[in-house]
Structures are given as C-alpha cells and as structure tokens.
Amino acid sequence: GAGVSQSPSNKVTEKGKDVELRCDPISGHTALYWYRQSLGQGLEFLIYFQGNSAPDKSGLPSDRFSAERTGGSVSTLTIQRTQQEDSAVYLCASSLDRDGTYEQYFGPGTRLTVT
C-alpha cells in the first residue's frame, strides 16, 4: 500500500512569511509524528498525535509553530513568521500505535529553506 506522503517536497520562502507543511500518514495508523532534521544533525522531535489530539506540544521550538490533525488522518504543520533558523528537513512519521512496539514509517520529508 501507499506509504507516508508529504508535500511540498521542497519549499523556499522569504523570512517572515508563513508556511504550511502537509503529511498524509499510512491509512489506519493512529499515531503521527513530526520531526525536524537540520544538516548533519539527528532527529529533533516536534510533536505527536494520537488520533486527532496532541497530548503534549512542548516539543515545538516556539509559539510560531503549530500543528493540527483532522479526521485522524492528514496533519499540517504551520510555521508563522519564518526565520532562517527554521531551515531544515521536516519529517513526518506514522505508526500503528504510539505505545506499542510498532516501528515508525517515515515520509520523504519537506526541505524548507528560509532566505
């Protein structure tokens, strides 16, 4: 079946603009995760959803970042008033169950460049 998809694959934006990143998880996966990966760095956890709810949003780096998930499926990550330090690859992953032993399946990522 289809894997995790993300759009856009690349986004170049000017500093101060808002951007919206989209993630389509694997059908039936209840848990959805957002990560950020800067060049040469590990994965920085941002937020996860169990169904439509995000139990803890403290992983988001600032209040310019927000995320939502509707219908237990598609999720969007919004960054307002982008800054150059927001430049990174934003990865989305989904799994069958957050608390189980199921692995996370990653999407191809969105490469965000803030100029």
Partner 1 sequence: GQNIDQPTEMTATEGAIVQINCTYQTSGFNGLFWYQQHAGEAPTFLSYNVLDGLEEKGRFSSFLSRSKGYSYLLLKELQMKDSASYLCAVRVPNSGNTPLVFGKGTRLSVIA
Positions touching partner 1 (CB under 8 A) are 4, 33, 35, 41-43, 45, 47-48, 55-59, 91, 98-99, 101, 103-109
Both structure tokens of 58: 């403290």
- For the CB of residue 23, give the shortest distance to partner 1 in the complex, in Å: 12
90 Cβ neighbours under 8 A, 6+ residues apart: 6, 21, 34, 35, 36, 37, 46, 77, 109, 110, 112
Is the CB of 35 or the CB of 65 nearer to partner 1? 35
- For the CB of residue 102, give the shortest distance to partner 1 in the complex, in Å: 9
Is the CB of 14 or the CB of 53 nearer to partner 1? 53
- For the CB of residue 82, give the shortest distance to partner 1 in the complex, in Å: 22
- For the CB of residue 16, give the shortest distance to partner 1 in the complex, in Å: 28
Is the CB of 3 or the CB of 16 nearer to partner 1? 3
Is the CB of 47 or the CB of 79 nearer to partner 1? 47
CA distances from 42 to 30, 36, 74 (A): 24, 8, 25
CA distances from 24 to 31, 52, 62, 65, 98 (A): 12, 13, 24, 19, 17
